[in-house]
Structure 1
Amino acid sequence: MSTPPTIVLVHGAFADASSWAPVTLALLDQGYTVLVPPVFNRSLIGDSAYIRSFVEQIDGPVILAGHSYGGAVITVAGAADNVVGLVYVSGYALDEGESLGQLQGGFPDSDLAANLVYSPYPIEGADPGTDVSVKIDAFPEVFAAGVPADTARVLAVSQRPLAAVAFSETAPVAAWKTKPSWGIVSKNDHTINPDVERFGYKRAGARTVIELDAPHLVMQTKPAEVATFIIDAIADLG
């Protein structure tokens, strides 16, 4: 491309923008413009609308990279006119009219399903909502396997919950139908069944799919490989 795209990294559930930190640094060191906005994890529709608004305020083309639930978010937000490509990193590539629950429901549960905690949270003027998080003692193995033990302990007690409604909301659009995509499968993922990732990427017609011998937080354990994959996707745009 004549104008290099801004790289927008979108984090997933039970994490925040710092989950991308090693990849962010690797891309910045190579001279790329990188932005890592927060995802509020309140609803698929609301989170996607926020990221789309964020992207549409960027001057020039954007390539979106989404991890985990962030993959579902970029599937919807990626419909923005200035988005030129989607990179899925251990992520959900939803179809139009499909929810996270529906996509996951077609495959055996990962270890995550048995290690979730449900907690109420207040919503002004409405019934309480339900937050979903990962059991603290299970978090290091289920979500942060392969991450240094002390780091995993900190991540476990600072996770950003996902509102339960996000699991049932359906994607109003699937940007991969009109935008090129690429995908990374984490072969040792205990949070998302790797077959969910493989299926979504194949259905999306991803130009390139690689499988890494990595856990769910592949951006933490193999940042160089993830950064290179994003750079290669940019090169593939021509």
Structure 2
Amino acid sequence: MAEINNVVLVHGAFADGSGWRRVYEILVARGYRVSIVQNPLTSFADDVAATVRVLDLQDGPAILVGHSWGGTVITEAGAHPNVAGLVYVSALIPDAGETSGQQYEGFAPTPDFVIDVTEDGFGYLRRDAFRAGFAADVDEAAAAFLADSQVPVNMSVFSEPVTVAAWREKPSWAVIATDDKAFDQAMLEHMATRIGADITRVPGSHALFITQAETVADVIDAAATEAVETPASAVAG
């Protein structure tokens, strides 16, 4: 495989691509060509299409990175031939035929992560609980901006099954925030372990893509190096 110089970053629900700014800056400084997907969060198909559209523009192999709901998106979109490896950042990791919602079954609830749903089926994180549930280690002013600029997600996406699990064919890495209040820690560990991901654990909230940007960038950097040499036989399947 050719050297991997491309990275594609996929955000999750209730956020947009701007949260990747620091990860972007670190990787660009290291010589990577970094692209950021802006998910519309209107349907699973729309988010996958937005990601594939960016992958089509890559000039060679890429590491595809997803945060939270973005993990489901990269699981499907990662089948793209330009994808050499997957990095899951406190992310959902369903298998083919599974929905995102099924990943929560059997795990503890997350009372600090409070979602309000509008009449048309879109979910927002409740503003007065946003910092506690999403960004506990972000300063108050920055957390308020994230809360007020959040992008609602069509809640039906969590009941849509993925059709292909790219992690079965591509090497995978996972970064888990040990203070994440959006997911039960056991759930994050289960998903990452099930796919045979190389796991990095770091103190941080669900907003680790902002607060632990250096660690996230380091994992992406390692993935870009290691994916070149990872044989297909070493991939979970």
Q: TM-score, normalised by structure 2?
A: 0.92
The AA in structure 1 aligned to 2:131 is: P
- Which residue in 2 is equivalent to 1:155? 146
Among 163, 167, 184, the alignment partner of 2:158 is 167
**CA shift for structure 1 position 226:** 0.9
Contact 1:45 1:171 survives alignment (8 Å) = no
Partner of 2:212: 222
- Deviation sequence 1:111-168 (CA, Å, 0-9, x none): 355x111113xxxxxxxx4100100010011111100110001111110011011110
- Give the RMSD, CA atoms, in angstroms: 1.3
Q: Deviations over 1:56-93 (max 9, x none)?
A: 23221111010000111000000111111000000011
Match of residue 183 from structure 2: 192
**Mapped partners of 1:111, 1:52: distance in 2:** 34
How many residue pairs match? The answer is: 228
Q: Write the distance in 2 (CA, Å) between the matches of 1:21 and 1:223.
A: 9
Residue 126 of structure 1 aligns with which residue?
none
- Verify: 1:201 aligned to 2:200, yes or no: no
1:175-229 CA-partner distances (Å, limit 9, x unpaired): 00111100011110001222222111111111x1011111111121111111111
TM-score scaled to structure 1, two decimals?
0.92
Counterpart code for 1:88: Y
Q: Give 1:50 shift.
A: 2.3
- For 1:22 and 1:2, how far apart are their aligned partners in 2? 26
**For the Cα contact (< 8 Å) 1:92–1:196, is it kept in 2?**
no
Stretches of structure 1 that go unaligned for 5 or more consecutive residues are: 121-128
Which of 177, 181, 189 is the matching residue for 2:172? 181
Contact 2:86 2:172 in 1 (8 A): yes
Give 2:157's aligned amino acid.
A
